[in-house]
Homo-oligomer: A and B are copies of this chain.
Amino acid sequence: MANSSSGESIIRRLVRLVGSFDDVHLTMSVATLARRSGLPVTTTYRLVDELLAEGLMERDASGEVRIGTRLWELVSRSSPMLGLREAALPFMEDVQSVVQHSTTLGILDSDEVLYIERIGSRDSLVDITKVAGRLPVHGTSSGLVLLAYSEPAYQDLFLSRPLARFTDDTLTHPTDLRRHLAHIRQRGFASMPGIIVPESSGIAVPVFGRANTVVAALSVVVPRNEENVAARVPVLMTSARGISRALGWRGELKGAVRQSNGSI
């Protein structure tokens, strides 16, 4: 363990520091940061000083600290997310121009859906997705698509765990879910009204990568009462194929669809 009496490595501490910020706590005093991260005050000051020196954090006018531009740049420049995002964005705009509510791109990470990108109207009444935000797999159409096209072993593992119920329409029973996943694979898309919040409805389709694996899910979220699945699926499908092709996908080789193991 580290020098620390609490027994943590520096890197884990840095994660606690950076992880103490979120979209509603963009800046805070160092003392607050110490409280939120659970690190000793003195230690926090020392680490923050070093981070400031490297530009990984910055002080704003009032003396509070925030994530530094340099850290954003370092990570964004070299993250595999960037390529996926850039390939998808033009197509997402096309979808958005037709559907008008909100369009998202999500991947499967640590048993949750992580949203890589999102475009939508500024006044998104019915959409709880955020860029770099997470939602449960079985509570989103994106998640169900990603699960449906994931490795069988992963599906088994996932379905062996208890699943939270969010609304009356959430599928929580393994058998129901498994049947539904098959349904999704057969139709090529997921349409799930009100499984996480009753008022909204999502439609999602898979995006394929170079190795014919599903790397992401393209999805639209619409108010439940405006639901018009039949009209929207073709738009999503064609856009998803466009993204897939931009990622180096070469068309479907029958039976070879399997879970992404990382590389796009």
Chain A interface residues toward B at CB < 8 A: 9-12, 14-15, 18-19, 21-23, 25-27, 47, 50-51, 54-56, 58-62, 66-67, 69-83, 86, 89-90, 93, 96-97, 107, 109-110, 114, 119, 121-122, 131-134, 246, 261-263
Cβ–Cβ contact A62 & B132, under 8 A = no
A251 to B27, CA, bound (A): 25
A-B residue pairs, 3 tightest by C-beta: A21-B78, A76-B132, A77-B132
Contact A78 B114 (CB under 8 A): no
| Copies of this chain | 2
Also in contact, A15 and B74, with CB within 8 A (given A61-B262, A90-B119, A90-B122): yes
In the assembled complex, the CB of A98 is this many whole angstroms from the nearest CB of chain B, namely 13
Interface pair A23/B82, CB less than 8 Å apart: yes
CB-CB under 8 A for A114 and B73, given A26-B78, A80-B26, A86-B131: yes
Best-buried of A10, A21, A97, A132 by chain B (most CB within 10 Å): A132
Residues of B within 8 A of A263 (CB): 27, 60-62
A262→B47 CA distance, assembly (Å): 21
Picked from B25, B26, B66, B75, the residue with its CB within 8 Å of the CB of A67 is B75
Q: Which residue of B lies closest to A77 (CB)?
A: B132
Contact B132 A73 (CB under 8 A): yes
